[in-house]
Structure 1
Amino acid sequence: GVHQPAAVQECEFNKKAWNSISKRDQQMIRLAARLSTFDAWRDHAYKDLGAYKRFEKSGNTMLRLEPGFIKIAQKAANEWADKQVAGNAWFKKMLNHQRKFQRDMQVYPKMRSGPGTRTTIGKTHK
């Protein structure tokens, strides 16, 4: 969404506790985290389809924010974030990383079609 242009999947460890775990167990935890993230991203969009249909069927109104509103919200968020950088090295590092990722991802729509945009749907056979 506009307020959160990313998803959060994290598992935090106390550094001392993490370092007390064997290298093999650290690798297993990292692998489990990667698989969990993969499963979540693979499944979430498809499950959203059913939820969206239920929302519509229940009489809910689905709203799309106007592009002008999104632009104003993003401008305000960027201005706020730019102010947070002063005196906060960690925030500066995180913000620069996020903005580089966002710039890098601008090419994505040129490279990939959105789900459901390239397919002519045939009939369902009984």
Structure 2
Amino acid sequence: MPDMEVELLAAALRQDSADLNLYAEVLSANLVDSLPPGAVRIKRRRSVTDRLAGREGSVAELDVTLGEQRLSLRMEGGRVAGEICHEVRGIVLSRRRADLGEWIEALARSLAEAAATNARAREAVRRFLA
């Protein structure tokens, strides 16, 4: 995928990132719907109010695995911590922290690479660009 399309994808992924909780909810829902089963794992934090109201709770962690890259995003008290890992057969070979902007760029690149060979990933890219 040309760099210009990756930049457009990153811009689309960056939309609405000002409200981190809303961003995490929308992004996780779109990724789960668009990527192959097992590529996205979501951990939620449920308050007592969420439990009583039957709500799922807010996204606490989002892990996206595409090829040999695992991208983790953790939400903690209105702050976000990103991590980019190179992982082969479940073994983490490298790990580095990333701010939200860098994490989004890495996700855009991983989605673009996966779109070259996977129909569901291509559909995910189309959804984010639409």
Q: TM-score, normalised by structure 1?
A: 0.30
Higher RCO (Cα < 8 Å, 6 or more apart): 2
**Which structure features the higher share of helix residues?**
1
TM-score by length of 2: 0.29
